[in-house]
Amino acid sequence: MTPIEFKETLQQQNIELTAKQQEQFATYFQLLVEWNQKVNLTAITAEEEVYLKHFYDSLVPAFDVPELREQAASLCDVGAGAGFPSLPLKIIFPTLQVTIVDSLNKRIKFLEELVAALGLTDVTLVHARAEDFGAKKSPARESFDVVTARAVANLPVLTELCLPLVKVGGKFVALKAQKAEEELAKAQYAIQTLGGKLEADFETTLPEDNEQRHTIVIAKQKTSPKKYPRKAGTPSKLPLLK
């Protein structure tokens, strides 16, 4: 997907890229490739692949989840790595208030330079484990309208990391690929335990290569028990499975 095809494909979703936004994505690509030579950010570095499998892919949830288009919604992106999906969403919907949590300081340093270069405001970068960021005494706990995660962990683990950060009435949005249905079946106990309920599983395919994508939306219906998330490393070692 070339930058021009990126713009034209988004038009089909009623998203009109401005000249400034096109420039921001171009800068994003350049910095991603530059930093990737010294910090392992992505295995995808060809321009057309970055535009399809990082930029466009990050925007797919906004086609179906209206909260991502809302003005001034607070969004927390857990384990965002090189900023996906939150920063492409922020470029398109600049009133989003974005918080990115990542456990690797080198990635945070990249994001600091990227956010400055893109001229983005209302972006907070946090170097922390998600388990600590959402712990019972954390001010961030249950404070976000939307929490997103992409390519971080399987869904039972992600649910424990993310749902405690979502305010009651908010949404946890997980970006998944072809094994989403299998992961979702395994995650039902974790979702219920942490106060959530499956709202939707939007299935689509990426343009050009037809790779399957799922946007899983979990509504936060009640407060998460204070003992979750458990201490760092435990959710991945002992996921909440029935």
Q: pLDDT 10s digit of each residue in the chain, 242 long?
A: 999 999 999 999 999 999 999 999 999 999 999 999 999 999 999 999 999 999 999 999 999 998 888 778 999 999 888 999 999 999 999 999 999 999 999 999 999 999 999 999 999 999 999 999 999 899 999 999 999 999 778 999 999 999 999 999 999 999 998 788 889 999 999 999 999 999 999 999 999 888 899 999 999 999 999 999 999 999 999 999 98
For residue 123, the model assigns a pLDDT of: 98
* Phi, psi angles (nearest 5°) of residue 71: -65, 130
Instruction: Output the pLDDT for position 152.
Output: 77
Query: What are the two backbone dihedrals, phi and then psi, of residue 76, each rounded to the nearest 5 degrees?
Result: -110, 125
- Predicted model pTM: 0.94
Give the residue from 15, 6, 57, 53 showing the smallest Cα distance to 214. Answer: 57
Least Cα distance to 134 among 16, 230, 216, 239 occurs for 230
- 3-state DSSP assignment of residue 37: coil
Q: What are 133's two structure tokens?
A: 């960021």
Exposed/middle/buried for residue 46 (C-beta within 10 Å: 0-12, 13-18, 19+): exposed
CA distance 182 to 174: 14
d(Cα 116, Cα 239) in Å, to the nearest integer? 37
List C-alpha distances in Å: 116 to 16, 29, 119, 123, 124.
Answer: 23, 14, 5, 10, 12
User: Annotated binding site: which residue ranges?
Assistant: 79, 84, 130-131, 150
CATH fold for the domain made of 64-237: Rossmann fold (3.40.50)
Quote the radius of gyration of the chain (alpha carbons, Å): 17
Is 28 within 8 Å of 47 (Cβ atoms)? no
What is the enclosing helix (H) or strand (E) of 54? none
List of E strands, the chain? 74-78, 97-102, 123-127, 144-150, 166-176, 196-205, 212-220
pLDDT given for residue 180 in this prediction: 85
Which residue ranges are tagged as binding site for S-adenosyl-L-methionine?
79, 84, 130-131, 150
Bridge-based pairing state of the strands 97-102 and 144-150: unpaired
Instruction: Decide if 190 contacts 159 (C-beta within 8 A).
Output: yes
Q: Check whether the bond before 85 is cis (ω within 30° of 0).
A: yes
